[in-house]
Structures are given as C-alpha cells and as structure tokens.
Amino acid sequence: MDVQTPEFASNVCFILINPKHDGNVGAIARIMLNFGFTDLRVVGRDNLWSEETRKRAKNAQSVLDKSAVFDSFDQAISDCSIVVGTSGKREDGKKTSMRHFLTPEELPKRLLETNGKVAIVFGPEGKGLLNSQLRECDLLITIPSWEGYPILNLSHAVGIICYSWFSNSIEQLPKGAEDRLLDPDLRKVLRLEISRLAQSIPTKSHKRRGIEEALTRVIMRGLPKDDEVHRILDVISKSADVFENNS
C-alpha cells in the first residue's frame, strides 16, 4: 500500500558488520520494510547487490537502493545518539561484567524519549559482534531463546527486533485486531441468553450452573468482537427457543 512509514522508524538504523551471505542481506531488507524501517547500513562490503540479494529482498528493493556502505564501524555510527549491540552469547557467574542485556521489548520503551538516531548493530554470521565492538555500544540486547541452541540466524534476529520495536511503538492495532472489548449492553444480553439456554437444556438441575459457567468462560476466553457475538447469540437464542418450546 502507498502509505507513509511510521515516524518512529525514521529514528532507527540497522547496521550489519561484515555480513557473509547475500541472502541474509536481502532477507533483512525485506523484514525491515515489513515493519516500516528503511535505514540499512553495511560495514565491510560494497552495495553492488547480487541477484540472490535482490531476489530475497522481494519488494524491498528501495531499502537496498538506499542502503549506505562504510569502511568502519565508527563511520557507520557517526550520526547516532545511541548505539545498541546485539548478541546471543550470554555469560554466567563472574563473567557478566560486560554482557548486561535488555530484551527487544524493553528497548523501544527505554528509548521513547530519545532525540536522534538509534543504531542497532549486528555482527557477522557465525561470530557475532566482537567484545571490542560490544564495548563501543551504549546498550546491549539479547533475544530470549532456548539455552540449548541460543544463536539465531542473522535475518531472523533482525526480524524479531523489528517486530518488537514496531509492536511496542504503534498505537493503533492492525485491522481486524481492534475493538476486542464487547459493548457492555451486548455482554449483558450474551450472559442472559447463555443462562436461558442452560436453564432450558434437558438435563439434571445440578448441572445447569456448570453448563452456564462453562459456556460463558469458553466464549469469553476467545475475546469475541461485537459482530462475532451477534452470530453466537443467534445460535444460542434459537437453541434456547427450541428447548423451551419442546419442554
């Protein structure tokens, strides 16, 4: 769709240091644009993107076309106010002097009032950022993952952080996900009709309350929207009418 990218996304850049695989660079361009980010910076490579990179980027060619290349890490972050390093290598015990991490969900909340560019930095596949590079970062984040195999694919890691930043920054829910709370009057009607159905079902009296509670909780657990409740009500009301007429 021809819509503006989110305002908050213009304050974030993603920096790849010496990425090895063309496919990852293309996949990163695509996932960035999925969440409205467009500032891609690459250290240690040119931007003569291969056919594989272009194919993996799909409709995010503009991100590749606008990408900037740098000879050094320092050059890539020269206009940034906050530099955030990423790592899946977590340390235990007395070795935690340097690797104190935030999670992806915390990051946009902590930087909400930041004026200036935020850089999120990723090291090369297989090795990640070196300790010397992590020391140049102001904050560190790690993606919670199973300790048995904690290191993610580079493009997957970028995707998770893009999603976390986006979902914790937007005020409006995606179409189809909004209006989850029922209209109060409709809620009352639903509960009354569920009660009427439970009372009209041919069963033992001591079971009616349990049936009513189970139906109410199962339906409400799905957080149905108003239009969905109207459809459910139609079924419940007609069923109650049938039981009452045949009693």
Quickly list DSSP for 31-73.
HHHHTT--EEEEESS-S---HHHHHHHTT-HHHHHH-EEESSH
Contact (Cβ atoms closer than 8 angstroms) between residue 37 and residue 12: yes
- What is the token pair recorded at 19? 């990425």
Q: For 7-167, CATH number?
A: 3.40.1280.10
Supply the pLDDT for residue 198.
92
- Residue 111: which of 165, 173, 36 has the closest Cα? 165
Domain residue ranges of the chain, discontinuous segments joined by +: 7-167, 184-245
pLDDT at site 131: 87
Residues of the chain with pLDDT under 50: 96-97
Q: What is the C-alpha separation between 153 and 127, in angstroms, rounded?
A: 11
Q: What is the pLDDT of residue 115?
A: 75
Cα separation, 195 vs 202, whole angstroms: 14
Query: Counting runs of H as helices and runs of E as strands, what totals does the chain give?
Result: 10, 6
Q: What is the pLDDT of residues 20-47, one digit of tens each?
A: 999 999 999 999 999 999 999 999 988 8
225 is written with which tokens? 């929207």
Residues 6+ positions from 201 with CB-CB distance below 8 Å: 208, 211, 243
Predicted TM-score (pTM) of the model is 0.73
pLDDT of residue 97: 47
pLDDT tens-digit readout, 107-134: 888 887 667 899 999 999 988 998 889 8
The whole-number pLDDT of residue 20 equals: 92
Q: What are φ and ψ of residue 38, in 5° steps?
A: -135, -10
Full strand arrangement of the beta sheet holding 117-122: 68-70, 39-43, 12-17, 117-122, 80-86, 139-141
